[in-house]
């Protein structure tokens, strides 16, 4: 097991150094590239040394750390939201939204010491989108821009991932036309209709949709329990309808109950970002720009997220990514 961990870490180092060199060559002054490159190599070699030391004290070679066959994870135990390139607690966050919308806190947690609170407010102004409508949202994204590119979810990869969501007791269930999105796989092409996986809160139900706009798309429903954590696990392989011998599939579990399995084409793009969010696009206005009725006319809405894990492609299992 120890030798396998070292080899896997070496593979991760090669990918990281390659991406770092690519970014430095294109973005940094030429005179600084050798120094920055050598520094990156030294940091990664120190990482190998740390694993070797842990291997002397732990049967797994990892001490108390997460196993190396996790691609990335976010249990927020670092106590912060770090740069997206980091494997633990690294996310892309929008520079246009207030910093206090995604806050690592310790009052409500699924496991360990920390979880993140995602908050939106109906009275705040939000960045105008291309359709010129003010849409309250906060996102944690993995796989966006050059820093996140190594973490893109691509067609044909078999993946397992899980996360946990807490809806507080004071959360007001809103009208069906004013639902919230809490998870999606975002297309890198920018097509807002192309989401092979989405999770929304619609009135008092989680609505899990698979297949986006494709024929044969599937939807499951599960009750939202306010004041309790809900644990999600997904097992998937993305596949476009245009792909020969498409072997796409998505399986879904909530709180240990298997909701079902969708097979066949489930996407229209080759690669996707992973997104955890609180997005209430119609809270202020309808798509036509008219005021939209809501059971909550002002103030904050928030949820908590914890135990986010994504297994290495082709190496995962339910037990490895399920919140615990």
Residue ranges per structural domain of the chain: 2-57, 70-321
pLDDT tens string, the chain, 324 residues long: the values are: 445 444 544 554 454 444 444 333 333 333 433 433 444 443 344 334 433 333 333 333 333 455 678 999 999 999 999 999 999 999 999 877 777 899 999 999 999 999 999 999 998 888 765 555 678 999 999 999 888 999 999 999 999 999 999 999 999 999 999 999 999 999 988 676 788 999 999 999 999 999 988 999 999 999 999 999 999 999 999 999 899 889 999 999 999 999 999 999 999 999 999 999 999 988 987 766 677 889 998 999 999 999 999 999 999 999 999 999
pLDDT for 32: 38
Whether 231 and 255 have beta carbons less than 8 Å apart is answered as yes
Q: Are 115 and 76 in contact (CB under 8 A)?
A: yes
C-alpha to C-alpha distance for 309 and 67, rounded to whole angstroms: 11
pTM: 0.80
Matching residue, tokens 């593979």: 11
Q: Which two tokens stand for residue 91?
A: 């996310």
Instruction: Give the fold, CATH level 3, of 70-321.
Output: Jelly Rolls (2.60.120)
Rounded Cα–Cα distance for residues 105 and 112 (Å): 11
pLDDT score, position 11 = 52
């Amino acid at each position: 097991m120890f030798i396998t961990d070292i080899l896997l870490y070496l593979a991760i180092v090669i990918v990281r150094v390659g991406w770092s060199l690519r970014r430095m060559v294109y973005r940094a002054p030429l005179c600084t590239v050798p120094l920055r490159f050598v520094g990156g190599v030294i940091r990664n070699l120190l990482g190998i040394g740390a694993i070797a030391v842990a291997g002397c004290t732990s049967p797994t070679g990892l001490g108390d750390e997460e196993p190396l066959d996790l691609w990335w994870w976010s249990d927020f135990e670092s106590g912060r939201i770090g740069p997206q390139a980091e494997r633990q607690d690294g996310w892309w966050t929008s520079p246009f939204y207030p910093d206090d919308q995604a806050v690592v806190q310790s009052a409500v947690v699924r496991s360990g010491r920390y979880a993140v609170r995602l908050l939106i407010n109906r009275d705040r102004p939000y960045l105008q989108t291309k359709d010129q409508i003010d849409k309250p949202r906060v996102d944690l994204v993995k796989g966006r821009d050059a820093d996140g590119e190594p973490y893109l979810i691509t067609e044909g990869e078999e993946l397992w991932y899980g996360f946990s969501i807490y809806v507080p007791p004071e959360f007001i269930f809103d009208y069906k036309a004013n639902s919230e999105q809490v998870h999606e796989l975002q297309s890198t092409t920018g097509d807002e209709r192309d989401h092979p996986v989405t999770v929304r809160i619609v009135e008092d139900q989680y609505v899990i949709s698979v297949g986006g706009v494709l024929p044969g798309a599937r939807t499951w429903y599960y009750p939202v329990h306010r004041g309790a954590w809900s644990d999600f696990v997904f097992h998937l392989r993305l596949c476009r309808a245009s792909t020969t011998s498409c072997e796409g599939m998505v399986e879904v579990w909530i709180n240990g109950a298997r909701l079902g399995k969708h097979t066949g084409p489930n996407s229209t793009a080759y690669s996707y970002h992973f997104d955890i969010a609180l997005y209430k696009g119609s809270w202020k206005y309808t798509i036509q720009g008219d005021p939209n009725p809501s059971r909550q006319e002002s103030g904050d809405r928030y949820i908590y997220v914890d135990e986010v894990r994504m297994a290495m492609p082709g190496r995962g299992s339910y037990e490895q990514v399920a919140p615990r």
